[in-house]
Amino acid sequence: MNVSRLPQSPGNVTGLHTRRSSYHPNYSAIAKNRVALARSEAGLTPKAFAEALSHLVGRDIKPGHVTSWETTTTPPGDVLLAVGALAPTTSSRIGVRSHKLIAAHIGQAGAERLSTELGMEEVTGYLGKTPCWTAGLEGAGDECTLHVWPWGTAIIHLVEDLDIPDVTTLAIWRYRSYAENLEWASTQLSSLTGEPVQASYVLSLYWVYSTPWVGTTLETGLRLICAPRILVDRDLTDADAAQVNGERVEHELLAAGYQRPDMKTFGTPGVSSAWASWSGVVYHPQDPLRALPEGDLVAFEIGLQAVWALTARINEQVESGEDPEVCDRYGSGFLRAARSVLLTPRPQETGQHQQMRDAIVNTSGLPGQLSLAMEALKEAGR
């Protein structure tokens, strides 16, 4: 499995304009190759394959269409689904782009220091018109970006491209890497701010660009990726035993089905399969041209986690018997505005964006946490 290991010493900060993603899946080429491989596996001529596809999709498919979809033209979504039914993929690999969002509180002074001394770029859009500062970080993962908000929240966005044989491998990697991620982020932010910083949590979003599954097994596999903790037995300290046990459980669940009541789907038939839960988010584009852009999904989650971390900080202060402390302009009025930005559909949003918003927000527990934080700030006169 290709997994980048985090360094033990702090990395460097670089301007975002110098950073490029190390992996951009060529979905058009993947789709064309899928048609060609399926016809080869089925042992059919373009004419016979076209006739079989016509029967499945309910419209006339010509042999020339098949030849074109294998070479020059991206096949449509219904054709790709039909291709999967005719010749299910035999690949044993899962292609995953892991987006880890590592949250930490650095305080207003720390945020101002980083924005000034590091020459961070000011951007808007994650939370309406609210600005934040961003800069690339060197030395971690395939791509790493630091986002800092003026109220003192920092979100490190760590991207790692993975090629894995099964969900168990991902689950064990995730379980073990989270501790490394938190330690590294704490060291990094402490070094950059000059003050002790303790990263608080990691939230994972998985963009799955290739899988060995189809049909109901695909949905079960994605649900396992969304919440893979069930595959990790913490009592097994031997790595080989943990892997074998996890694979056994995975095979059983893929065969029998796996559904948790706290999961919510936001996929679109023929376009995408997607699930959100308290543990994370997973998205698999079946038709990349009509699916949600990866950047839209990540940007929304970054904005949500920025508010989640802020409200968690406020509620922790209240639970400790303290009056909540927030910087000017980011009291209950700001949280009210942030709630509207995150929970209210935009007039020109697509249905897919609205479903994404509803699923991710409600499974995150943010609405209740926001209400508690707003009430606490009002009582404190903030």
Strand (E) or helix (H) holding 102? strand 94-105
Are 147 and 131 in contact, with CB atoms under 8 Å apart? no
pLDDT score for 98: 95
pLDDT for 23 = 38
- Identify the pLDDT of residue 84: 76
CA 118, 121, 125, 131 torsion-angle sign? positive
pLDDT of residue 25: 53
Token pair, residue 285, equals: 């584009």
User: Which pLDDT belongs to residue 88?
Assistant: 61
Amino acid, single-letter form, for residue 32: K
CA gap 360, 99 in Å, rounded? 15
pLDDT < 50 stretches in the chain: 1-24, 90
Cβ atoms 278, 335 nearer than 8 A: no
Beta-bridged to residue 157, according to DSSP, are: 101, 145
pLDDT in tens, 234-280: 888 788 888 999 999 999 999 888 888 899 999 999 899 999 999 99
- What pLDDT is attached to residue 117? 86
The pLDDT score that the predictor gives to residue 91 is 54
Q: How far is it, in rounded angstroms, from Cα 365 to Cα 307?
A: 12
| Distances, alpha carbon 363 to alpha carbons 202, 262, 313, 356, 369, in Å | 16, 7, 19, 11, 12
- Domain architecture of the chain: domains with CATH: 13-24+95-288 (no CATH), 27-86 (1.10.260), 296-379 (no CATH)
- Find all residues with CB under 8 Å of 306, minimum gap 6, and list them: 126, 127, 132, 147, 149, 153, 155
Contact, 153 vs 102, CB < 8 A? no
Residue listed under structure tokens 């060291």: 187
Q: Output the furthest CA–CA distance in the chain (Å, rounded).
A: 74
- Best CA proximity match to 120, nearest among 16, 12, 11, 19: 16
Query: How far is the C-alpha of 75 from the C-alpha of 70, rounded, in Å?
Result: 8
In whole angstroms, give the CA distance from residue 127 to residue 304: 8
Q: Residue 256 in contact with residue 350, Cβ under 8 Å?
A: no
Q: Give 284-296 pLDDT, tens digit per residue.
A: 998 887 899 999 9
Q: Which amino acid is at 24?
A: H
